[in-house]
Amino acid sequence: MGFKRLLAVFFALAVAAAGLAGAAQAEPYRIVGFGDSLMAGYQLGPGEGFPDRLQAALRAKGRDVEVTGAGVSGDTSSGGLARLDWSVPDGTDLVILELGANDMLRGIMPELTEKNLDAMLSRLKERKIGVLLAGMKAAPNLGADYAAAFDGIYPRLAEKYGVPLYPFFLDGVAGDLKLLQSDGMHPTAEGVAVMVERMLPTVEKAMDAAPRSQ
């Protein structure tokens, strides 16, 4: 093979390698919103749920990101643990873990909720997937003892696994009937917009802290 031809081959290989590297760099940052009806967009229209609104807000800030919703209405922490592995695909960079509200509403012992969330965090850590833990608060009618046990789950686990914590997923919406549906629990489209606006800085920090998947 002549020198010029060999040089041309090397040049072609270099261009191809650069193209592959560029394609890899062009992959969007992948987020999975993993939770219950609050993540699933209960009774909301297309594009009005939390994952879609979050994706739009991040893209508006120049982030190349895809946010996939993996919320199941009525899901408990036990249900979430059972479906975690197949609901969060390989290549996910960050999971927003939002579960526990249905455990609380059903009066499930906080110890079981914590055990399930702990197992989910452990699995995601093993898979080298970043996590943003979205906390929940116990309803006042469940009493002070239950609230203390339940509310403490999220900061304990965030500290144990060294993951960022957003203390209350419904912050700014809970108790505001103008932002809630008639059931008094699920946010309206306007309520979701408030949730996204309040949580956005925490999500961006979590994205910057979580390494991209390989």
- Catalytic positions are 37, 183, 186
Q: Report whether 97 contacts 60 (CB < 8 A).
A: no
Q: Report whether 108 contacts 144 (CB < 8 A).
A: no
Contacts of 25 (CB under 8 A, 6+ apart): none
Rounded Cα–Cα distance for residues 51 and 30 (Å) = 12
Q: Report whether 39 contacts 69 (CB < 8 A).
A: yes
SS3 29: strand
Tokens of 98: 């939002």
Short-list 127, 94, 125, CA closest to 199 = 94
Rounded Cα–Cα distance for residues 19 and 190 (Å) = 43
Which helix or strand (DSSP H or E) is residue 1 part of? none
SS3 134: strand
Tokens of 2: 């002549």
For residue 17, report the phi and psi dihedrals to the nearest 5 degrees.
-65, -40
